[in-house]
Amino acid sequence: MQSYDVVIVGGGAAGITVAAILRRQRPQLSVGLIEPSDVHYYQPGWTIVGGGEYSLEKTRRSMASLIPKGVTWIKAAASAFEPQGNVVVLADGSRVGYNMLVACPGIQNDWNKIAGLKEALGHDGVCSNYSAETVESTWRFIDAFKGGTALFTQPPLPFKCPGAPQKIAYLAADRWRQRGLSEQCDMHFLTATPGMFGVPYFAQALNKIIAGYNITPHFKHNLVAIDGGKREATFEVTGDDEQKSHVTFGYDLIHVSPPESPPEFVKNSPLANEGGYIEVDQGTMRSTRFDNVFALGDACSTPNSKTAAAVRKQAPVLVANMLAVLDGQDLSQSYDGYASCPLTTSLDKVMLAEFIYGGKVTPTFRMDPSEPRKIWWWGKMSGFPWLYWDIMLKGRHFIDIRHGEDKAAAFISK
């Protein structure tokens, strides 16, 4: 059985970043990275791919080009965690041992939880930015749209990038407005959540954005079925009395953000909590059950928004604490729940929402974070991809200007 000082499960943003930091800080450690895919995607770019402003090819790089030198690529899928024996079981039945485990396998799109969705995706006016296979169909349908009813859906939390379901609605609305189609468009945003965003400060600003586009919001509406042939979408509606009912909308175009959950082997593992996520201390990123197991990214239990920006803050904390364990020292670093959600509100402006645990607004810069700005559109198109590919995934330390509540106080108190 092959064995390593550190085994990382998952070659997404979290796994590559941790591997790169480890190679820089402790190159003598043997590190194995378990990942079956040949391709790595910059998923934050998929919104603007669907909006017609970016190509899918720009979001794609080979996994081989990203795995740091000195890290052993175990090109296989993990199928089970056996933390009692310090072992990860692979899909072919082989086993990999470790002294320390970093679990970051990501989460999966649960297309099958919406009846009829999988069969309709990519045609019948049904599209989604949430996979490499379907994102280009979003732009194809938006570009071909000449008017009618357009629906944009959002599932129950948690799921990747909670602002993405409404971002594509704004990009589509702005595109159609530029083409003079606004009067022909009947747009609806249907979300399973009770408001536009989980942080009230940004929700208030987004209420104005959605109203400006004449998009009708529907709260506590969860998509449960699609009939592609009839072009009908059925939603489960939760009333104020918590009673459930169903309502059906006809559509000409529907963008679906699917429900998501951890992979099945994670849900069925000793690492998982009742919701199927890897249970960790929300500050240290260490498993609450096994002292030599750490986790980060979308599949772990930390109650933050699941974004690449969150991983950028989690990874250095995790590595520092894991090395402290190896050195017999106390865990000294703590993740504060930071996440950043660049909300594309038009084809040239972005609202940069930054916040930590508890929904506390913590901008990096002393400017009103609820105001959409062209500088953040540049960030979305150029700056953030550079930060991702050339800084974060390389394990480099970027001059990190402190984010904090004090920088938001003047604006929130208005």
Among 104, 127, 185, 341, the one annotated catalytic:
341
DSSP 8-class letter at 309: H
Q: Is 127 a catalytic residue?
A: no
| DSSP string covering 183-221 | GGEEEEEEESSSSS-SSHHHHHHHHHHHHHTTPEEETTE
The CA distance from 50 to 1, in Å, is 44
Q: Is 161 a catalytic residue?
A: yes
Residues contacting residue 73 through CB under 8 Å, at least 6 positions apart: 11, 33, 35, 63, 64, 67
C-alpha dist (Å) from residue 132 to 170, 368, 369: 21, 34, 30
| CA triple 298-301-303, angle to 5 deg | 90
Look at phi and psi of residue 297 and say left if phi exceeds 0, alpha if psi is from -120 to 50, else beta. left
Tell me how crowded residue 142 is: count the other CB atoms within 10 A of its CB: 21
Look at phi and psi of residue 188 and say left if phi exceeds 0, alpha if psi is from -120 to 50, else beta. beta
Query: 3-class DSSP state for residue 58?
Result: helix
Pairing label, strands 2-9, 244-250: unpaired
Name the amino acid, one letter, at 22: L
370 and 362 in contact (C-beta within 8 Å)? no
Residue with tokens 């970051």: 104
Among 104, 127, 161, 185, the one annotated catalytic:
161
Residues contacting residue 107 through CB under 8 Å, at least 6 positions apart: 159, 160, 260, 261, 262, 263, 298, 299, 306
Burial of 134 (0-12, 13-18, 19+ CB in 10 A): buried
Tokens of 326: 């190896």
Tokens of 172: 């589509």
161 and 306 in contact (C-beta within 8 Å)? yes
SS3 of the chain: helix, strand, coil, percent, to 5:
30, 30, 40
Residues involved in catalysis = 161, 341
